[in-house]
């Protein structure tokens, strides 16, 4: 079930022999933010309009100044990008020689240019629709101030994606759906009328919920959503984003924020659903942080984990968490700017 920010982008841009521009987006991202696009084309519909294509061209550019490339400590001012065809599954061998287009570090003023193929890997079932998922993720790690701008275009030729602008005409057969960070992390349960199992994910040092914990969230939902109603845990995955860029504040402050977030989130969710179970998953510093969060919750609301009237705790999971301590504190020159 899609949860859309942007529905149909039903337009084609005509540009003569230079090809046709199918999508043209310009967005900005801050630390911990991303955009996820689902781009689909109906080959039969396009063919009926005189456009017979077997491949498309994608161009994504980091619009920041090249002068920011060496500024790494306060950045990096770059993006992670991948483009996954509809039938891609990292747990299965990908057939053929087609590679998954991705770039882990699109630096300022750099361009990511690839071809995507209308083939069995991108085909939706046995239909004439071909689809891809595109993730564009901010790589900012420490500072919360900058906004990184990018442009994203898809066209029928390399020339078509070089420049934006032109005359748009209404058409069918092209769809562009978009999710931002908030909408991705605010998905409802599969069964709204059944009790909900809330999963709280907590990030580590110099990390963030929105981007760095996205894979874990996606996999939890991917494994649980297809389950039959009789055994489905009816999962909702959430994470506190108030600690992004604030690792230097210490575990106590971080944990208190997560604890407050959990209480507020449960109260808000209970207005629509009934949260009766809760689990915590913390990565690295997220382990001690969510431990402090549980302590805060039990002090501020002692009845919260009551097995009868409250929310039943199910799992408390930590990954690579420094519960026995760390080698040393941050040096003064690092802790001050944090």
- Write down the pLDDT at residue 273: 98
174-211 pLDDT per residue, tens: 999 999 999 999 999 999 999 999 999 999 998 999 99
- Write down the pLDDT at residue 20: 86
Q: Is residue 5 part of a domain?
A: no
- Write down the pLDDT at residue 330: 58
For the chain, the maximum distance between any two Cα atoms, rounded to a whole number of angstroms, is: 70
Q: Are residues 190 and 209 in the same domain?
A: yes
- Write down the pLDDT at residue 200: 99
Q: Are residues 54 and 126 in the same domain?
A: yes
Q: Give the model's confidence band at 248: pLDDT under 50 very low, under 70 low, under 90 confident, else very high.
A: confident
- Write down the pLDDT at residue 16: 52
Q: Are residues 33 and 156 in the same domain?
A: yes
Q: Is residue 36 part of a domain?
A: yes
260, 241 Cβ separation under 8 angstroms = no
Nearest Cα neighbor of 189 from 231, 137, 232, 147 is 232
Q: Are residues 251 and 133 in the same domain?
A: no
- Write down the pLDDT at residue 3: 38
CATH number of the CATH domain containing 285: 3.40.50
- Write down the pLDDT at residue 148: 97
265 has pLDDT over 50: yes
Q: Are residues 175 and 200 in the same domain?
A: no
What mean pLDDT is predicted for residues 134-144? 93
What mean pLDDT is predicted for residues 130-150? 95
Show which of 163, 183, 203 is a domain's final residue.
Answer: 183
**Which tokens in the block code for residue 314?**
């199910």
288 has pLDDT over 90: yes
> Considering its fold, how many domains does the chain have in total?
2
23-32 pLDDT per residue, tens: 999 999 999 9
Crossing angle of helices 286-300 and 251-269, rounded to 10°: 60
Q: For the chain, give the percent of residues with pLDDT over 70.
A: 87
Q: Which of 284, 291, 303, 335 is catalytic?
A: 284
CATH number of the CATH domain containing 146: 2.60.120.380
Q: Are residues 163 and 69 in the same domain?
A: yes
284 is catalytic: yes
Show which of 130, 163, 183 is a domain's final residue.
Answer: 183
83-137 pLDDT per residue, tens: 999 999 988 887 778 899 999 999 999 999 999 999 999 999 999 999 999 999 9
Mean pLDDT of all residues belonging to the chain: 89
Q: Give the model's confidence band at 282: pLDDT under 50 very low, under 70 low, under 90 confident, else very high.
A: very high
Q: Is residue 273 part of a domain?
A: yes
31-56 pLDDT per residue, tens: 999 999 999 999 999 999 888 999 99
Q: Give the model's confidence band at 143: pLDDT under 50 very low, under 70 low, under 90 confident, else very high.
A: confident
5 has pLDDT over 90: no
What is the residue-wise DSSP string for 177-233? EEEEHHHHTTPPPS-TTS-EEEEEEE--TT--TTTTTHHHHHHHHHHHTTS-TTT--
Q: Is residue 37 part of a domain?
A: yes
Q: Is residue 179 part of a domain?
A: yes
- Domain extent, residue 224, equals 185-335
| Beta-sheet strand order (sheet of 20-29) | 111-117, 55-62, 148-155, 20-29, 11-14, 167-170
Q: Is residue 4 part of a domain?
A: no
156-165 pLDDT per residue, tens: 999 889 876 5
Q: Which residues contact 47 (CB under 8 A, 6 or more apart)?
A: none
Q: Is residue 1 part of a domain?
A: no
Q: Are residues 155 and 245 in the same domain?
A: no
**Which tokens in the block code for residue 134?**
């595109």
322, 247 Cβ separation under 8 angstroms = no
| pTM given for the model | 0.89
**CA 111 – CA 128 distance, rounded (Å):** 30
Q: Are residues 66 and 163 in the same domain?
A: yes
Q: Taken in order 163, 169, 171, 177, is the CA torsion positive or negative?
A: positive
Q: Are residues 18 and 153 in the same domain?
A: yes
Q: Are residues 179 and 209 in the same domain?
A: no
Show which of 135, 159, 183 is a domain's final residue.
Answer: 183
Q: Are residues 176 and 189 in the same domain?
A: no
Q: Are residues 111 and 195 in the same domain?
A: no
Helix (H, G, I), strand (E, B) or coil at 106: strand
What mean pLDDT is predicted for residues 250-262? 97
Q: Is residue 211 part of a domain?
A: yes
């Amino acid at each position: 079930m899609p949860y859309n920010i942007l529905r149909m982008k039903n337009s084609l841009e005509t540009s003569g022999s230079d090809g046709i521009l199918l999508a043209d987006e310009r967005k900005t991202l801050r630390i911990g933010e991303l955009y996820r696009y689902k781009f689909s084309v109906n080959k039969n519909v396009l063919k009926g309009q005189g456009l017979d294509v077997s491949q498309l061209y994608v161009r994504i550019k980091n619009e920041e100044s090249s002068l920011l490339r060496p500024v790494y400590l306060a950045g990096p001012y770059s993006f992670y990008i991948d483009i996954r065809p509809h039938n891609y599954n990292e747990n299965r061998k990908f057939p053929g020689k087609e590679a998954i287009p991705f770039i882990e570090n699109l630096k300022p003023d750099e361009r990511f240019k690839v071809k995507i193929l209308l083939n069995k890997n991108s085909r939706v079932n046995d239909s004439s629709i071909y689809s891809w998922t595109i993730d564009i993720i901010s790589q900012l790690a420490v500072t919360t101030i900058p906004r990184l701008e990018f442009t994203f275009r898809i066209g029928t030729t390399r020339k078509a994606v070089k420049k934006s602008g032109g005359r748009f005409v209404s058409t069918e057969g092209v769809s562009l759906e978009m999710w931002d960070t908030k909408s991705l992390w605010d998905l409802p349960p599969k069964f709204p009328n059944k009790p909900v199992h809330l999963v709280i994910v907590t990030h580590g040092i110099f990390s963030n919920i929105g981007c760095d914990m996205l894979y874990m969230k996606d996999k939890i939902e991917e494994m649980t959503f297809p389950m039959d109603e009789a055994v489905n845990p009816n999962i909702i995955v959430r994470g506190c984003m108030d600690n992004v860029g604030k690792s230097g504040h210490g575990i106590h402050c971080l944990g208190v924020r997560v604890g407050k977030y959990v209480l507020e989130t449960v109260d808000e969710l209970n207005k629509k659903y009934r949260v009766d179970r809760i689990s915590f998953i913390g990565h690295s510093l997220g382990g001690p942080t969510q431990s402090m969060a549980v302590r805060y919750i039990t002090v501020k609301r002692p009845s919260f984990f009551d097995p009868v009237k409250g929310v039943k705790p199910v799992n408390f999971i930590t990954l690579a968490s420094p519960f026995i301590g760390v080698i040393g504190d941050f040096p003064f020159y690092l802790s001050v700017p944090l």
